[in-house]
Amino acid sequence: MTHLDSTAPTGTDPARTRLPGGSSLLSGLPGRQGFGDASLIRVGTGSIDLGGGNPDRSLLPVDLYREAVHELMDSPGYGARLGYVPAAGTPSFRALLAEREGVSPERIIVTSGGINGLALAVLGTLDPGDTIVVDDPIFPLFLRVLDLVPGVRVVPVGVQADGLDVDALEAHLAAGVRPQAVFTVPTFHNPGGAVLSAQKAQRLTELAERWGFTVFADDPYRELAFPGAEVPAAAWVRDSEHVIGVNTFSKTLGPALRLGYNVVPSALAEQYVKLRNRLDGQASGVLQDIVERIVGRPEYAQANAAAGAVYAQKARALHGALHRELPGELDIIEPQGGFFLWARFRDQEADFAALFDAAQDEGLVYQRGEWFGVSPTGGASGAVDAVGAAGAASAASDAAGAANVAGAAGGAAGAAGQGFGSDPSRTRGAVRLTFAELDVPTLEEGAARLGRAWRHIHG
């Protein structure tokens, strides 16, 4: 079996030979490597899959769906609702979402789910050759969205317990990097679980406004906080013209729904409506009407709170099982919400490709930490050496106070010798495990299988 330890470089190569009948974009799209590569996964009978990102469907508000659908279909003139709707979304749904976000309805663009929202933000912000700063470790599917704009340069910045390392970002800016955008998952980070603090969010928007870049705030897990978890208000998205909020109902109403929305800068809202129209015309008006009826009811928030409480129980069970099965072997970040637990083996000399194989032999599938790294894609206008030095200095001063989500102090110092590549110490030997979809006994058995696999390769 081939083992791929990092995400493929981002961006298609405009110079690649075009396939007969295909565009350079179509011809240059790379295959999946690492995260999501089915050729690396063996799911047999009885396997436990801790690698996915699905909600527990028993926790979705099915009764609210049922009632909303009946209300819609029994409403007068239902047939008239089966026509086209505006590209930006139905006016009443946009108004409801705007009220929830504290913005004007003109800033709401309804999308066909989170990835569609990210594609809209990328296509509306980036040109070939632009630079974007991204989380490291990163949600790998975002890198695939970047493939829509060939030649984008990617600069990884570490994620700490309180979110994106804004000090390291500022060091990059001082060293000459000029990003057009910054991407981060601010709440219950995928994969690391971090929550961006209000102080960092304010600093991030201040930097965006000073240097002229746009922040993509990808926030699918915000409504799934565990009881007692503190989630800062998203005022930074509402109050800044340099932030695009990307939201989806996939985690609270199910991924099959394919519905979400972006909060875009008011100055660009009209242009984003035009872009939305040219991508796929519109999101389903029927689905918008159904979700409007669900989200507008207090039972929706109650269902999310109840789901968060169950997810918290599952997360604690998996966390405890890992400590029992692998005592002293793991540094584990305890989740406060969302779907994922990020753990890292302390022995960094182990063969983690062999561990992944041994786990699958035991009937366990997970996501390897190395698949959440960012491969180098070149430098921005001669700033590589300066950026490496600045990043190292920032990391050295920061390491005493906070570890990044992969548990490596001074991570950017390691990246200094790699240009703009990811620091491997942030992801090597890490595992991302989902606790959302499965029940507690299955999660505990998954931890037992990981323990057996570790002992098999480690002795």
CA 129 to chain centre: 23
181-184 and 214-218: which strand pairing? parallel
User: How far is the C-alpha of 177 from the C-alpha of 378, rounded, in Å?
Assistant: 12
Other CB atoms within a 10 A radius of the CB of residue 396 amount to 13
β partners of residue 430: 344
Other CB atoms within a 10 A radius of the CB of residue 238 amount to 15
Tokens describing residue 232:
């800062």
pTM of the model: 0.87
Cis peptide before 191 (omega within 30 of 0): yes
CB 55 within 8 A of CB 251: yes
User: How far is the C-alpha of 439 from the C-alpha of 459, rounded, in Å?
Assistant: 30
Contact residues for 395 (Cβ-Cβ < 8 A; gap 6+): 158, 165, 168, 410, 411, 412, 413
pLDDT by residue, tens only, the chain of 459 residues:
333 333 334 444 545 578 999 998 888 888 777 776 666 777 778 999 999 999 999 999 999 999 999 999 999 888 888 999 999 999 999 999 999 999 999 999 999 999 999 999 999 999 999 999 999 999 999 999 999 999 999 999 999 999 999 999 999 999 999 999 999 999 999 999 999 999 999 999 999 999 999 999 999 999 999 999 989 888 888 899 999 999 999 999 999 999 999 999 999 999 999 999 999 899 999 999 999 999 999 999 999 999 999 999 999 999 999 999 999 999 998 999 999 999 999 999 999 999 999 999 999 999 999 999 987 543 333 333 334 434 443 333 333 333 344 333 233 322 222 335 568 889 999 999 999 999 999 999 999 999 999 999 987
Q: What are phi and psi of 411, to 5 degrees?
A: -60, -40
Contact residues for 271 (Cβ-Cβ < 8 A; gap 6+): 124
Contact residues for 407 (Cβ-Cβ < 8 A; gap 6+): 331, 333, 344, 430
Other CB atoms within a 10 A radius of the CB of residue 298 amount to 7
